[in-house]
Amino acid sequence: MLSLFKKPRFRGGVHAEEHKTATAALPIASDFPLPKKLYIPLQQHVGKPAEPVIMVGEKVLKGQLLAYSQGLISAPVHAPSSGIIVDVNDYPAPHPSALPIRTIVLETDGKDEWMAISVVDDPFQLNPEEISFRVGAAGIVGLGGATFPTAVKLNMGRENHVDTLIINGSECEPYLCCDDRLMQERAGEIIDGVRLMLHGMETEQAVVAIEDNKPQAYVAMLAAAEPYAQIKVIQIPTRYPMGWDRQLIRYVTGKEVPVGCRSSEVGVTIHNVGTAYAVHKAIRLGQPLLGRVVTVAGGAVKRPMNVEVPFGTLISELFEFCEVDKEQTARIIMGGPMMGDSLPHTGLPTVKATSGILALTKSELKNTEEQPCIRCAGCVSVCPAGLRPLDMANNIRINQLDAAVDLGLKDCISCGCCSYICPSNIPLVQFFKYASGEVIARQQAQHKSEQTKRLIDARNARMERIAQQQREDELARIAAKAERERLKAEQEALV
């Protein structure tokens, strides 16, 4: 009875059709042929883009550093295979706009020749700082999709004396199951990565949270974690967006992260299972992050699968391998169908954030025929952030962006639950993304005009001061002249 009065551990959310069965039973494919050319963007993470250290025409080995991280929040990029650098230039980014970003093009030589690797015997003898340094040097970022540099997060965890590390194995997006397969096949490595992260953050305990639609992954992880008392593996209900970090933190620990704070400030850090696996490879094997498991699925895919690909592989090659039917493909999505971005074409590379590439048919897509809002409040009841999407959208529609901000626009996480549930097919997330961008643009424009006004005022003041100075100088000059003439007259009088 008392539990009724406790804060709810999960609010809102939807249960979307999972579509995971086609791929969840297949082992991760590792026979993907090495592409002839890899297009490696220099920005595959949150923060500043990496800065190239190689020259065009240079021969590189697999794992060799291509670009170093710049600034506090950034991540380096390494060569996913051996070959020759043929270009460093602007190429389309895997983004809805496909605008060009700086990209290294690597022509592979097919030898896949590793650079010299040095491995420590017992990483638990290393300093915690050394662990995060190595993680950072390996170019590891959050592989759940947020791509925040992992080393920075480890450091924040250590500095804030975090008491719990949560490993996010929820994988709540429909279609995606790369984490599921990773947990089933490489549980031991993931758990080792978790132990290394615990050591790197000087944290006592870890909780691996797995949605209960992945029983095999749960069993595998439970078995792998058994020898380690500090690692707990739990099952959590299947409900989107369980994998939203703040949602998972509340579900697992009961703590709510205040707006504007990082989770480490309430004593929790959260990492994805894929990230833990990458940490294992970086520390134990000395291998930087060179590729990842990508789910290729959707109605237009004839051979849906989870496949391990090097970064920089073009989506078109991936689609060829998975036999995607071009005629049937109505939309290409990077990520899951709830939060993923639609891509304009397939000539774009896979990057660290690419958890899945979907080729959906028209019948799988949401109907886009928009009808008037009937205030059914479905969006209010599914919003995990506690917003009122219908009121926000109404305000944005009439260009009242300030009112939308007052209603909590900035607390929107773009999870897509409202758009998913809306019976009138109103593209609510589109409204919020537009408004967020527009608010920033307006703030910048206002800042710019204020700045300009300040400069003009300063210039006017300066000119005024100069004119004043000149007037004073003139007066002084006249006074001096008069004085001189007076003295001269006096002298003449004396003479």
Binding residues for [4Fe-4S] cluster: 373, 376, 379, 383, 412, 415, 418, 422
End-to-end CA distance of the chain: 118
Residue number, 309 or 357, with CB nearest to another protein: 357
Say whether residue 368 binds another protein (CB under 8 A): yes
Whether the CB-CB separation of 60 and 85 falls below 8 Å is answered with yes
> Residue 19 half-sphere exposure, CB side, CA atoms within 13 Å?
23
* Strand pairing class (356-360; 291-297): parallel
For 188, list phi and psi in degrees, rounded to 5. Answer: -60, -45
Stretch that binds another protein, among 144-152, 251-259, 449-457, 462-470 (CB under 8 A): 251-259
Q: How far is the CB of 423 from another protein (least distance, A)?
A: 5
Binding to another protein in span 265-324, by CB under 8 A: 265-267, 316, 319, 324
Binding to another protein in span 131-190, by CB under 8 A: 174
Say whether residue 419 binds another protein (CB under 8 A): yes
CA atoms of 279 and 151, how far apart (whole Å): 10
> How many other β-carbons are positioned within 10 Å of the β-carbon of residue 126?
16
* Strand pairing class (356-360; 331-334): antiparallel
Among 342, 403, 405, 438, binds another protein (CB under 8 A): 342
* Strand pairing class (83-92; 59-60): antiparallel
Site mask, another protein, residues 370-409, x = CB under 8 A? -xxxxxxx--xx-xxxxxx-xx----------------x-
My answer on whether omega of the bond before 423 falls inside 30° of 0, hence cis, is no
List residues forming the annotated binding site. Answer: 373, 376, 379, 383, 412, 415, 418, 422
Binding to another protein in span 89-118, by CB under 8 A: 96-97
Stretch that binds another protein, among 60-68, 220-228, 279-287, 413-421 (CB under 8 A): 413-421
Residue number, 259 or 476, with CB nearest to another protein: 259
Say whether residue 258 binds another protein (CB under 8 A): yes
Q: Decide: helix, strand or coil at residue 206.
A: strand
Q: How far is the CB of 385 from another protein (least distance, A)?
A: 5
Strands (E), 22-177: 37-41, 51-52, 59-60, 65-68, 77-78, 83-92, 100-108, 164-169
Q: How far is the CB of 217 from another protein (least distance, A)?
A: 23
Among 329, 354, 395, 436, binds another protein (CB under 8 A): 329
The letter for the amino acid at 129 is E
Residues 6+ apart with CB under 8 A from 76: 50, 65, 66, 67, 68, 69, 136, 137, 139, 288
Total residue length of the chain: 495
Query: Residue count at the site for another protein (CB under 8 A)?
Result: 80
Q: How far is the CB of 13 from another protein (least distance, A)?
A: 12
- How far from 424 is each of 369, 404, 409, 459, CA to CA, in Å? 8, 20, 21, 55
Say whether residue 478 binds another protein (CB under 8 A): no
Say whether residue 361 binds another protein (CB under 8 A): no
Q: How far is the CB of 228 from another protein (least distance, A)?
A: 24
Among 93, 106, 198, 417, binds another protein (CB under 8 A): 417
Q: How far is the CB of 337 from another protein (least distance, A)?
A: 4
Whether the CB-CB separation of 49 and 102 falls below 8 Å is answered with yes
Stretch that binds another protein, among 37-45, 62-70, 362-370, 476-484 (CB under 8 A): 362-370
Site mask, another protein, residues 1-30, x = CB under 8 A? ----------x--x-xx-------------
Say whether residue 364 binds another protein (CB under 8 A): yes
Stretch that binds another protein, among 74-82, 206-214, 304-312, 427-435 (CB under 8 A): 427-435
Q: How far is the CB of 20 from another protein (least distance, A)?
A: 13
Q: Which residues of 36-62 are buried (b: 16+ CB within 10 A; e: fewer)?
A: ebbbbbbbbbbbebbbbebeeeeebbb
Q: How far is the CB of 366 from another protein (least distance, A)?
A: 3
CA atoms of 160 and 89, how far apart (whole Å): 40
